[in-house]
Structure 1
Amino acid sequence: MSPARGFLAEKVENHDLVLLHVVSSPRPQVLRATIQRIYSAKRGIDQRYIGKEIEFVRSPGNWGDVALEVGERALVFISMVSDRFYEDTWRGHMIIEEIQGDLFAIYQHRELWLCEEVPEAIRACSQQDPKRPYATAILFGILEAYLIELIENSQQC
């Protein structure tokens, strides 16, 4: 994370952001998903994909970056290269899960609330993910509002 650029700013600048539900994996490292919401459309995705299925090449996953799986709902940073969609290769998604009745986005970084580069609004609404010791759960509504603001600011530049 670069403090000068801001938390997730580089991802917002270089990728589209979508909310999707992974429905299948037709081939190794390829996922098929239904697009539920499009937050930004400048890197290949556009409004005609809402409610439709797309195929994309997922991040391969490795230590510190767990791959997205069938059945998961997630915010995904995605872009089109040579007529194919690709998930950002490092922490390119945040799974959306319910924890004790509230929706959370799972960010693959331990104790994110201790990182001073992360805005206070995000840190204040973050907690340890109860399932994953390597991840932080961030209240979905707060993170979503932050990402929308980042997208709006990046489009003004």
Structure 2
Amino acid sequence: MEMHEFHSFLAQRLALADAILIDRICIERQLASARVLKAYTSRHEGLPKYSSGEMTFVGTPGSWGNPTLSANDKAVAFIGYIESAQGYYQHHWLAHFLVIVHGGQEYALATWNTHARNWWPASFHDQCIIPDSSRPWRVGIPFSLFEKHLLQLIDEPAPNIR
């Protein structure tokens, strides 16, 4: 996956869901509750508002390489409100970046693609890590760079996604 594909991937997620930094995740079956640390966007917000500090949502199902959130994870998750269901739902596929600490630094971790290193802008390549050599598909980028890139995308016009 090349840089334009990563850009497109994130842009598609942002067109369909809000980017929310969450932690203190509690999972019961597919229902999750979490503390909202930061809402990067609120285009797909319902009630209660993200500013309430807590939210409950239906998490993405795990299958065929689609990772799920786990208890106590910290992540940037793509979540939106579905009016007809009166609730929040995590995007259905590849719907979050875990936030991990490795060597004292926070990283946004893509957990689903052995080629994720190629997604980032070329200037990020040397800063990407594989924190666990037994899981080479998990690629991390310094969180500050990931967040900066995410915020730049948010400022761009949303793609027309159906």
Q: Which residue of 1 aligns with 2:65?
A: 64
Q: Which residue of 2 aligns with 1:23?
A: 25
Quickly say closer, same or farther: Cα 1:35–1:45, change in 2 above 3 A: farther
Q: Which residue of 1 aligns with 2:8?
A: 6
Quickly say closer, same or farther: Cα 1:22–1:87, change in 2 above 3 A: farther
Instruction: Write the deviation string for residues 116-153 of structure 1: whole angstroms up to 9, x where unpaired.
Output: x5422343431213263321111100000000000011
**Whole-Å separation in 2 of the counterparts to 1:59 and 1:121:** 31
- Output the TM-score relative to the length of structure 2: 0.82
Between Structure 1 and Structure 2, how many residues are aligned?
A: 154
**Aligned-pair distance for 1:7?**
4.4
**Aligned-pair distance for 1:46?**
8.3
Contact 2:77–2:96 (8 Å) recurs in 1:
yes
- Output the TM-score relative to the length of structure 1: 0.85
Instruction: Write the deviation string for residues 87-119 of structure 1: whole angstroms up to 9, x where unpaired.
Output: 111110111110001100111222422x3x542
Instruction: Write the deviation string for residues 64-90 of structure 1: whole angstroms up to 9, x where unpaired.
Output: 222101101100011111321111111
Are 2:151 and 1:148 aligned?
Answer: yes
Paired amino acid for 1:71: N
Quickly say closer, same or farther: Cα 1:28–1:47, change in 2 above 3 A: closer
From 132, 137, 140, give the equivalent of 2:140. Answer: 137
RCO (CA 8 Å, sep 6+): is it higher in 1 or 2?
Answer: 2
Q: Which runs of 5+ in 1 are unaligned?
A: none
Question: SS state of the match for residue 17, structure 1?
Answer: strand
* Structure 1 runs (4+) greater than 6 angstroms displaced: none
Contact 1:7–1:119 (8 Å) recurs in 2:
no
Larger relative strand fraction: 1
Question: SS state of the match for residue 13, structure 1?
Answer: helix
Question: SS state of the match for residue 154, structure 1?
Answer: coil
RMSD, matched Cα = 2.6
Q: Which runs of 5+ in 2 are unaligned?
A: none
Instruction: Write the deviation string for residues 23-47 of structure 1: whole angstroms up to 9, x where unpaired.
Output: 322x410000010000001012589
Are 2:102 and 1:99 aligned?
Answer: yes
After TM superposition, the structure 1 = structure 2 runs for residues 29-108 of structure 1, keeping only pairs within 5 Å, are: 29-44=30-45, 48-50=49-51, 52-81=53-82, 82=84, 83-108=86-111
